[in-house]
Amino acid sequence: MSAIRLLVLGAVRQHGRAHGYQVRGDLEYWGAHEWSNAKPGSIYHALKQMAKQGLLREHETAPSTAGGPPRTEYEITEAGAEEYFRLLRDALTSYDQKTDVKSAAIGFMLDLPRAEAVSLLEERIRGIETWRSAVTAHYLPEEGPEQLGHIGEIMNLWIHTADGEAEWTRGLIARIEGGAYTFAGEGEPFVGVLREGEDNPYATGERHPGDAH
């Protein structure tokens, strides 16, 4: 799964309507340009592609009072919302070695009911345990990585990563069950997007030819 679709749909959904530069600013604000493939070109491409697919609706805005060109604003459609929640649920349950999809899922998990988030994370742990069992069918951690030569170090890394992720996920579940955070249906939702004109403290300082759109 690519994290960019989930990130872009989630950002547009939180805004209600947003143009490409706002979405880019939000993803930079979340640090996604550091831990995912959410670079300027991929963000604008994803917006246009998902608009063609009917997941986003395009709105042409009037030129700014300062004389700038009109911008295309995007709004998530019903099909886009369905795709967003499908991607979010898949990202919370699926286990692999990649950080971007997992980070995007945790960033948006508050859009789900608390009980569902816990259930999905428990499913994630079961997936980790299944994946770990597949590795230990060929590699026994207690015998050390040397049993397979230096290649055993790769499997040793996999096992340590899986064990660490399972422990972290159990801790997250405990915090959620203990009442941490505000999930869907519990009150005012968390919205971590930049307001129009608000300075982004994490901006890269680079502009993209499509920024005006």
- In whole angstroms, what is the distance from residue 97 CA to residue 51 CA? 30
**pLDDT higher for 177 or 94?**
177
Q: How many CA atoms lie within 13 A of 83 on its CB side?
A: 23
CA–CA separation, 44 and 21 (whole Å): 9
Flag whether pLDDT at 45 surpasses 60.
Answer: yes
CB atoms near residue 45 (< 10 Å): 14
Average pLDDT, whole number, for the chain? 85
pLDDT of residue 156: 85
71 pLDDT exceeds 90? no
Residue 103 lies in a domain: no
Q: Tens of pLDDT along 179-212?
A: 999 999 998 766 666 566 666 655 555 444 344 3
113 token code pair: 């009911």
In a domain, 23, yes or no: no
Q: Quick one: pLDDT at residue 209?
A: 39
Total domain count for the chain?
1
Rounded to an integer, the average pLDDT of 15-36 is: 85
In a domain, 125, yes or no: yes
Distance CA 81, CA 12 (A): 10
What does the pLDDT average to over 103-116? 95
Q: Which of 141, 142, 139, 133 is CA-nearest to residue 166?
A: 133
Q: How far apart are CA 134 and CA 109, in angstroms?
A: 28
The tens digit of pLDDT for each residue in 130-179 reads 998 998 888 787 777 777 778 788 888 888 999 999 999 999 999 999 99
Res. 117: pLDDT tops 90: yes
Q: Is residue 183 part of a domain?
A: yes
> What is the per-residue pLDDT for 155?
81
Tell if the pTM clears 0.75, that is, is over it: yes
Residue 68 included in any domain: no
Q: Which long-range contacts (CB under 8 A, 24 or more apart) does 204-212 make?
A: 204/28, 204/33, 206/40, 208/24, 208/40, 208/41, 208/44, 210/20, 210/40, 210/44, 211/20, 211/21, 211/24, 211/40, 212/21, 212/68, 212/69, 212/71
Lowest-pLDDT range of 83-97, 98-112, 118-132, 139-153: 139-153
Work out the angle between the directed axes of helices 114-136 and 78-93 (0-180°, nearest 10).
50
Residue 21: pLDDT band (50, 70, 90) is confident
C-alpha R_g of the chain: 20
For the chain, give the percent of residues with pLDDT over 70. 84
Q: What is the mean pLDDT of residues 63-79?
A: 79
**Has residue 70 been placed in a domain?**
no
Q: What's the mean pLDDT in 87-99? A: 87
Helix (H, G, I), strand (E, B) or coil at 74: strand
Q: Which domain holds residue 166?
A: 112-191
